[in-house]
Amino acid sequence: MKHLLKLMDLSRQEILEILNLADQLKYEKHHGIPHPLLQGKTLGMIFEKSSTRTRVSFEVGMYDLGGHALFLSSRDLQIGRGEPAEDTARVLSRYLDGIMIRTFQQSEVETLAAMGNIPIINGLTDYCHPCQVLADLMTIRERKGALQGKTLCYIGDGNNMTNSLIVGGIKMGMRVTVACPDGYRPDSELMRWAAETGSFLCTSDVFEAAAGADVLYTDVWASMGQEEEADARRKIFRGYQINDAVLGIAAADAMVLHCLPAHREEEITAKVFEAHAAEIFEEAENRLHAQKAVLVKCLSER
């Protein structure tokens, strides 16, 4: 695997291999078995947005793999003062073995990949969040035993998380249902692709989407970069919440996942969040294992 820019670029087999390696790395981490698969490799981590999980898990992940990670805030890099991504890519390619980038535009990530000659890993853009969804799929498989045939229901804003969940879920044989208000639907091209598979539903009716679901998923109503819209969005998204009533219509043993950070009483009630905290924080832990698998796949196969 050369890069991880978006899940659409990966085959079902490649996703499966990442999930299997992630399970193995989790086992080794929990049993104190060393796995220095990236000895001597250096990862640059460019952040143009805030992060807790992505930053810490990539840094710890590189350490666990015997490599080194550099935190590069766009506030300090020349990229933050307008140096083009294509120049930054050509320079950093000469120092580093790989780059993880969190930014706004997907095109910036694609430009880095096209212009540099080292692996680029997407740590979130406005368009998608592939690393998070690999950890989500890992968590669902761990708890449900399989992905094939399960129904994943996403409730809330049709954002970067939704786009990646649709692609990742459907590629792995899941049925994906999405409930979001009109005007806040996921990417239209992705929805056309998803609809053609016959395993997708997008509706504005939360209960239609959640009926019988094995996994309920939500994310914030206002993403990073949308802070000024937060008040307006609170009104628009009212009702697009995981609460007891929604849980009541899902499968009796439904899991609840959230990529975090969570806003209690907005997209999820505090009661449901705490009742499903074991799943949600396992999901957060799995970021570490899933990302290590991505790092090994991208950086060791060069």
Cα 289 to Cα 291: distance, rounded to the nearest angstrom: 6
- Binding segment (CB under 6 A) for ligand CP, from list 29-37, 46-54, 197-205, 236-244: 46-54
What's the gap between Cα 157 and its chain centre? 15
Q: β-pairing, 215-218 with 255-258?
A: parallel
**Could you confirm whether 129 is annotated as catalytic?**
yes
- Binding segment (CB under 6 A) for ligand CP, from list 50-58, 92-100, 145-153, 175-183: 50-58
DSSP string across 6-74:
-GGGS-HHHHHHHHHHHHHHHHHHHTT----TTTT-EEEEEESS--SHHHHHHHHHHHHTT-EEEEEET
- CA nearest to 68, candidates 88, 32, 46, 98: 98
Is 44 or 175 the residue whose CB approaches ligand CP more closely?
44
60 binds ligand CP (CB under 6 A): no
Which one of ligand NVA, ligand CP, none is in contact with 159 (Cβ closer than 5 to 8 A by kind)?
Answer: ligand NVA
Shortest CB 75 distance to ligand NVA, Å:
18
Is 120 or 124 the residue whose CB approaches ligand CP more closely?
124
**Could you confirm whether 87 is annotated as catalytic?**
no
- Please give the residues from 103 up to 132 whose contact with ligand CP meets the rule CB under 6 A: 124, 132
Q: Which residues bind ligand NVA (CB under 6 A)?
A: 124, 159-161, 219-220, 223-224, 259
CB 131 within 8 A of CB 150: no
- Please give the residues from 132 up to 151 whose contact with ligand CP meets the rule CB under 6 A: 132
Cα 11 to Cα 14: distance, rounded to the nearest angstrom: 5
Which one of ligand NVA, ligand CP, none is in contact with 52 (Cβ closer than 5 to 8 A by kind)?
Answer: ligand CP
- CA nearest to 154, candidates 221, 55, 82: 221
Q: Which residues bind ligand CP (CB under 6 A)?
A: 51-54, 124, 132, 259-260
Catalytic residues: 102, 129, 132, 219, 259, 287
